[in-house]
Amino acid sequence: MEQIIKKPANIIPRPNLRDYDDALETFKWESAYDQVEWFDGKLNAAYNAVDRHAKSHRRDKVALYWQGVDRNEKYTFFEMSRLSNRFANVLTDLGIEKHDRVFIFLPRVPETYISFLGILKTGAIAGTMFSAFGPEGLYDRLHNSGARYLITNSSLKERVYQIKDDLVDLERLIIVDCDDGVGVADDEVSYTEAMKNASETFDTVQMLPDDPAFMLYTSGTTGKPKGVVHRHLAIVQQHVTTKWVLDLHEDDIYWCTADPGWVTGISYGLLGPFSCGASVVVYDGRFDPEVWYSVIEKYQVNVWYSAPTAFRLLAQAPDAHKSHDLSSLRHICSVGEPLNSEIVHWGVRTFGLPIHDNFWQTETGGILIANYPSLPIKPGWMGKPIPGIKAAIVDDSGCEVARGVEGNLALVADFPSLMLTIWKNSAKYREYFSGGWYFTGDRAVQHEDGYFLFIGRADDVINTSGERVGPFEVESALIEHPAIVEAGVIGKPDALRGEIIKAFVVLAPGYEPSDELTSDVKRFVKTRLAGHAYPREFEIVDTLPKTRSGKIVRRMLRAKELGLPIGDVSTLEE
Ligand code: PRX
């Protein structure tokens, strides 16, 4: 069995969660409600993230250090509070009301953070979209959510205009990078102009704990992406887990490398750390080991939250850290895909610190299982449930299995950051629950000692570089290409990216396999769906395995690819 890493006491002198076992036994979520501020049973996550600090001794503390490619900026809690107030006024003047949807399609610029907070302050629901999305990915999200306004910039807006005529609910675009309104079309709103004219005071709308705050689309096995809606109360779990798992302390400088278009970039790139009053570093630029290490050095980052693929890429540049002083680092965490034990050990060799894995999902809004500063790390294992979470391994009928036996990773659904619903699809929402459990869709094992080991997805969802991709969306995009009549898509294990997307396609009559065709199809999926969701591998086949009702059996494609047994074929087409 893997050796457990016992950390020297001086690495984390005073972890926020000192006695895990005691907290596991005694902690109740209600007891953490007073870690955020309430107004007669109501609250607002944005108020808790910035305004309460702007009124405290943290008023002039830097909340956001923003590093762009060739410039940088910083914003105090007071400035973030005032700017998000201004944006809330901009939206209110435009007629935005409680529960309306306002979406953001931007890179990691300060306006992303300011507008997200401003949206929450009005009581509207904020949605973020990764800046690599193409027109089809945007259409699915904007159409399903019925977003009324979209905040974007002058280059990304071109992709929106390719589909805007079909979006009946989308009223106007707010463009952030057009100073003094120059370059803004008549029916667009200039962010700069509107912000200049808006008041910097705003009465933040106080929301019920279960009122929706933000939504993020994520992929399942079938159908279009699902709009996962999160409530304002989730801030309680984001706050507590930021303290316990990321171990943020008052003077910490914290860098989360996740994009705000994904859940980690919101729950732990914005809400959790701001709520704890920490200074957050945001780097908006390409991945480059030298630049990443220089960000840690320049901002004296203490706590760093990233993902296995990023660590594996850094490990491929074994000398890059040597020219940087990284001694500020105190605690490193990872999420999104399995963290192989070699990378945990690489962390020890490279930074003198092990990497702490943790597990959660878009739907759970906050961390569920983790390796903690105060507990030994078990490399390769996701860790133990956070206090307040009951996690278990159950069989398909919801009965708990013995320790050491593989099964479905399930949770008791009574924690504050669990999704409120799936937007306009309560049937999909209900599918997550059975026999009193929330099913994560993941397979895992729990060891005698309580640690959980990730085995794999129970469904066909692909996890490439920590980003979740639905095979159905990729297949749908592929068959829109004139050369392709049928497509089946799987995740193929990959040493660097965890999985890569592999497509099996049947060509239309008259088309012949060629390198040009392959590159054209890749480009087609990249520009229509998203930059990260294109198949890196193609195989042209004569037919695809299907059930008698015509559904493609991806399990067989995967078995064939990996040389595994094909399993039960009784329901397949002749
Ligand atoms: O399969 C699990 C994997 O990522 C899925 C959730 O993806 P997403 O909703 O995009 O959220 C990612 C960031 C929270 C899970 O169902 N996953 C997440 N963390 C881990 C993981 N797989 C293995 N180990 C992890 N630590």
Q: What number does CATH give the domain 462-562?
A: 3.30.300.30
Domain ranges within the chain, ordered by starting residue? 9-445, 462-562
- Ligand 1 in reach of 460 Cβ (< 6 A): no
The predicted model gives 379-391 an average pLDDT of 97
What pLDDT is stored for residue 11 in this prediction? 56
Q: Which residues neighbour 95 within 8 Å (Cβ) at sequence distance 6 or greater?
A: none
Neighbours of 35 (CB within 10 A): 14
**pLDDT tier for residue 521 given thresholds of 50, 70 and 90:** very high
CA dihedral 347, 351, 356, 357 (to 10 degrees): -40
Q: Taking 90 as the threshold, does the pLDDT of residue 9 lie above it?
A: no
Mean pLDDT of 291-313: 97
Using the predicted structure, report yes or no on whether residue 573 has a pLDDT greater than 80: no
What separation in Å is there between the alpha carbon of 218 and the centre of ligand 1? 11
> Which tens digits make up the pLDDT trace of 154-179?
999 999 999 999 999 999 999 999 87
Q: Is 422 a residue whose pLDDT tops 90? A: yes
Query: What is the average pLDDT score of the chain?
Result: 94
Please identify, by atom number, the ligand 1 atom nearest to the C-alpha of residue 467: 10
At 100, is the pLDDT very low, low, confident or very high (cuts 50, 70, 90)?
very high
Mind listing the pLDDT tens digit for each residue in 11-45?
A: 556 899 999 999 999 999 999 999 999 999 999 99
Which pLDDT tens digit goes with each residue over 356-369?
999 999 999 999 99
**Percent of the residues in the chain that have a pLDDT greater than 90, as a whole number:** 89
Does the C-beta of 226 come closer than 6 Å to ligand 1? no
pLDDT tens string 235-284 = 999 999 999 999 999 999 999 999 999 999 999 999 999 999 999 999 99
- Please report which confidence band the pLDDT of residue 568 belongs to, taking 50, 70 and 90 as the band edges: low
pLDDT of residue 106: 98
336 lines ligand 1 (CB under 6 A): yes
Determine whether the shortest distance from the Cβ of 130 to ligand 1 is under 6 A.
no
Q: What's the fold here for domain 9-445?
A: Rossmann fold (3.40.50)
- Contacts of 104-107 with CB under 8 Å at 24 or more apart are 104/128, 104/129, 104/150, 104/151, 104/152, 104/260, 105/129, 105/131, 105/133, 105/138, 105/150, 105/151, 105/152, 105/156, 105/160, 106/131, 106/151, 106/152, 106/153, 106/156, 106/176, 107/131, 107/153, 107/284
pLDDT value of residue 574 = 56
DSSP 8-state symbol, 448: T
Q: 149 C-alpha vs ligand 1 centroid, how far in Å? A: 30
SS3 category, 521: helix
| pLDDT grade for 7, boundaries at 50, 70 and 90 | low
Sequence-ordered alpha helix ranges (H) in 94-198: 110-122, 135-145, 157-161, 191-197
**pTM for the whole structure:** 0.94
- Ligand 1 centroid to residue 461 C-alpha, Å: 11
* Probe residue for ligand 1, chosen from 468, 473, 532 as the CB with the greatest number of ligand atoms within 8 Å: 468
Q: pLDDT tens digit string along 186-219?
A: 899 999 999 999 999 999 999 999 999 999 999 8
Work out which ligand 1 atom sits closest to the CA atom of 358.
Answer: 26
pLDDT digits (tens, 9 = 90+) for 139-153: 999 999 999 999 999
Within its chain, how far is the Cα of 369 from the centroid?
16
> Model confidence at 550, in pLDDT bands (50, 70, 90)?
confident
What is the SS3 assignment for 271? helix
Q: To test ligand 1's pocket by mutation, which of 229, 241, 271, 335 has the most ligand atoms within 8 angstroms of CB? A: 335
Q: Confidence band (pLDDT; 50, 70, 90) for 2? A: low
